[in-house]
Amino acid sequence: MTGPDRRLNAFRPDLADARLKGRVEAARFVAGRAAEVAAPVLDVRSAPGVDAGLDTQLLAGDAVTVFDEAGGFAWVQATRDSYVGYVPASGLRAPGPAATHVVTAPRTFVYARADMKRPATAALSLGSRLAIVGAAETRGTAYALLESGEAVVSSHISPVDHGADDYVAVAETLERTPYLWGGTSAFGIDCSGLVQLCLRMAGRACPRDTDMQAAALGRPLDIGAALAGLERGDLVFWKGHVAIVLDAETIIHASGHAMAVVREGLAEAVDRIARLYGRPVGFRRP
């Protein structure tokens, strides 16, 4: 019998999430402690080391549960998609005020003060969560203020309950974003990360990895070899890859072939990918 998915359940021989007691074997079970991501983008790795593979990423303001910390790395589980892995402990902090806003521009800067001529102290990705405490205006530009006194451009954020009407339109704003295996941000993203981030911006939960999305996201579609009947927003799955349908003839995806988020003809993509990895294995409507 297959055990719990280690990507989504925190358990090791020496330590496990207390919620898994009775389901897995471990020397010790702990409840973990709450924390949140302080870094703009935080790499989640398969092992506690900078040379370990990049599995996914967390964004500023994301909540996590910390189960262990040693050697500069914390072993965590993300709240929003349950993904488990190791992150630099320096990129975490104790939970602060509840987020009030989310970044809705592909990328934005945090400024030392409410003035674009002041130094930028950080760059944030689409999807980053912020606690805004005030407002200011400088030379006609409106800024939102953080508790630290830093500021972001008001037009680049929206209330945290914001939901984009069309998640595909969000993907279109990320066209030409560099491809990054394991990436989930507007600085670098992979195919399933693109789907997850864009659905997240539409207020919809989405699993992290392609196989998870292909198994559980939305509902399956019965699409024949002619690829007829696909609509905007449908998903095309290959083994280890996913693309978003723009229209009946076009997809947008984070392509390891182009090393960027690109538009591509659906038929051309199917033919190109088939030569190396086979034809699509499924279609879903999220």
- The pLDDT profile of the chain, 286 residues, written as one tens digit per residue, is 478 999 999 999 999 999 999 999 999 999 999 999 999 999 999 999 999 999 999 999 999 999 999 999 999 999 999 999 999 999 999 999 999 999 999 999 999 999 999 999 999 999 999 999 999 999 999 999 999 999 999 999 999 998 999 999 999 999 999 999 999 999 999 999 999 999 999 999 999 999 999 999 999 999 988 899 999 999 999 999 999 999 999 999 999 999 999 999 999 999 999 999 999 999 999 9
Write down the CATH superfamily of domain 16-93: SH3 Domains (2.30.30.40)
What digits encode the pLDDT tens for the residues 231-262? 999 999 999 999 999 999 999 999 999 999 99
pLDDT of residue 211: 98
Specify the domain boundaries for CATH 2.30.30.40 within the chain.
16-93
What digits encode the pLDDT tens for the residues 197-233? 999 999 999 999 999 999 999 999 999 888 999 999 9
Question: Domain 167-285 class?
Answer: alpha beta
- Are the C-beta atoms of residues 243 and 262 closer than 8 Å to each other? no
Written as one letter, the residue type at 213 is Q
pLDDT of residue 253: 98
pLDDT of residue 1: 47
Strand partners, 179: 189
DSSP characters over the chain = -----TTTS-B-SS-EEGGGBTTB--S-EE--EEEEE-SSEEEEESSSSTTSPEEEEEETT-EEEEEEEETTEEEEEETTT--EEEEEGGGEE---SPP-EEE-SSEEEEESSS-TTSPEEEEEETT-EE-EEEEEEETTEEEEEETTS-EEEGGGEEETT---S-HHHHHHHTTTPBB-TT-EETTEE-HHHHHHHHHHHTT----SSHHHHHHHSSEE----TT-TT--TT-EEEETTEEEEEEETTEEEEEETTTTEEEEEEHHHHHHHHHHHH-S--EEEE-
Task: Give this prediction's pTM.
Answer: 0.96
Strand partners, 64: 35, 78
- Are the C-beta atoms of residues 266 and 258 closer than 8 Å to each other? no
Specify the domain boundaries for CATH 3.90.1720.10 within the chain.
167-285
101-159 CATH: 2.30.30
Which of 197, 204, 203 lies closest to 261, judged by CA? 197
Cα–Cα dist 209/212, whole Å: 5
* Distance (Å) of CA 61 to CA 58, 92, 196: 9, 9, 17
Over its C-alpha atoms, the chain yields an Rg (Å, rounded) of: 20
Sign of the dihedral through C-alpha 51, 57, 61, 62: negative
